[in-house]
Chain A
Amino acid sequence: MNTSGWIGALLDKAGAPLLQLEEDGIFPSKLRLSSEVYDSLVRLRYRELEHGNPLVLLGTQVVEDASLSRDDFALEP
């Protein structure tokens, strides 16, 4: 079972620091994800994107970062 890039695990990893920041009143502007995960999110969210919604995960706008591996993320202030 290849779990690399699983959204559930990424959400769990990103959720902890994001929640901590939010509890401190800090709301990051962007969540950076690998190109592969970004592409899979675009496929899953195509209908919302067609309607003009931004690509959002954990309430934070997602942007592609080709330098990241599938299991990594970065929060932008």
Chain B
Amino acid sequence: MLSAEENDILTRVGPGTPMGKMMRRFWMPICTSAQVSEPDGDPLRLKLLGESFVLFRDTNGEIGVLDELCMHRGVSLALGRVEDCGIRCLYHGWKFGVDGTIMDTPNNTNPRFKQRMKAPAYPVREAGGLVWIYIGPKECRPEFPHFEFMNGPAEHRAVIRLNTRANYLQLLEGGTDSSHVGILHSNQANPTWMKDEFTARDDEDFNPGALASSDNAPTLEIEDTSFGYHYVAKRKGPRAEDGAPTVSVRVTPVFLPVGRIIPAPAYQFFVFEVPQNDYVTSTYIITHGNKPIDRGEIIRIMGLKEPFWNDQDCNFRADWSNGMGQDRAKMATNWTGFDGIEQEDAILAVSMGPILDRTKEHMVAADRAVIHLRARLLESVQRHEKGESPISHEIVDYTPVRSLPDTVIREGERWQDLVPGNSTVGV
């Protein structure tokens, strides 16, 4: 539960809002590299934090991100021609380079105009299969961050994007709420749920819904870190061979403002919930490991398929006109009537409405990971409003940060020792 004011501060991300200003201090993904793979290919019309941009890859392979509307008369450059190392507006033919240089103004022959003026262009980097931009104040731009998924060959990584009609916080809260995994994702976590039995799903080492235990009331421990926090969900484990009690621990790091790592047995799922605006979120899922990964299998287990999603526009389609696409006839053997982890997560977030009214909810102590997420985000906004750096802002190398899939340890053993980098990064 939050007051309406707190909910607004957390969820509104446009220019001038406290959260929007704080988030603008970070590099953010704006699309995947695959979406803009060809030089002189089609430009992309993109939104980030309530602002509109056009992104294109020029003849030399360089990526440019400009304000969407042409600085001349405000026509969308997303309709423009990408050619000869620039993007040209259809209206009067003004042409811009990737850095905003005005290359041509056919209806204005004054050469000094081109020399004096530039179109608003933004710093861009390409890494880890994503295109990242920085749209905050120039003087506050942090170093470009490095994540583990940016290492290794491309075949060890699978990148997926989906655009969901829900505020980013609904998706981020879901992703930090470990206690829903064994319930909402019963089909993936426990395929024999309908017999009231537990069968560990250990046949797919890329399954982020894999749990080692049927305990749906995990105990939580949260520890703040320099990047935000990490928390462990502890479930009852089987007795050890010597009869000693054990616990199954699952660790999720949350790096502010919008990232987390979900564990799977052999891979890490880096997930960024990037607000396009207050009502639409681009989720970037980067699966990464030490061996090749089949992207098609990740898409399958996520349930990202028609009619909900396609790999071209990446828009997630679910609304009440068709009951969110739920197949209620399947629900005797399928917990949700849906099919796949991200499909389930996205549909539940959409079902909350564009921005959830958190004045009406009833949080309980077991929701503590979500409660803490909100508190840390509000703390980061507060710090920024006071002129301090937001949480996580100073970190450049996130490489040591790890999640931990369900791992059985003896009671009393330190779970932090299994993810030592989480406590030392940025310190």
What residues of chain A have their CB less than 8 Å away from a CB belonging to chain B?
A: 1, 3, 6-9, 11-12, 15-16, 18-19, 22-23, 40, 44, 56-59
* B219 lies within 8 A of chain A by Cβ: yes
From 300 to 316 in chain B, residues with beta carbon under 8 angstroms from any chain A beta carbon are none
For B364, the chain A residues whose CB sits under 8 A away are 58-59
* A12 x B374 contact (CB < 8 A): yes
Interface string of B1-13 (1 = CB under 8 A from A): 1110010011000
20 contacts between A and B (CB under 8 A): A1-B9, A1-B18, A1-B382, A1-B385, A3-B378, A6-B378, A9-B375, A11-B363, A11-B375, A12-B368, A12-B371, A12-B374, A15-B367, A15-B371, A19-B219, A19-B365, A44-B359, A44-B360, A57-B363, A58-B363
CA distance A19 to B363 in the complex (A): 12
Interface string of B145-163 (1 = CB under 8 A from A): 0000000000000000000
* B2 x A22 contact (CB < 8 A): no
From 215 to 254 in chain B, residues with beta carbon under 8 angstroms from any chain A beta carbon are 219-220, 222
* A22 x B378 contact (CB < 8 A): no
From 358 to 410 in chain B, residues with beta carbon under 8 angstroms from any chain A beta carbon are 359-360, 362-368, 371-372, 374-375, 378-379, 381-382, 385-386
For A7, the chain B residues whose CB sits under 8 A away are 1-3, 6
CB of A53, distance to nearest CB on chain B (Å): 10
Q: Which of the residues B2, B359, B365 comes within 8 Å of A15, measured between beta carbons? A: B365
Residue of A nearest to B219 (CB): A23
Q: Which of the residues A15, A22, A44, A57 comes within 8 Å of B3, measured between beta carbons? A: A44
* B365 x A8 contact (CB < 8 A): no
For A16, the chain B residues whose CB sits under 8 A away are 222, 368
For A44, the chain B residues whose CB sits under 8 A away are 1, 3, 359-360
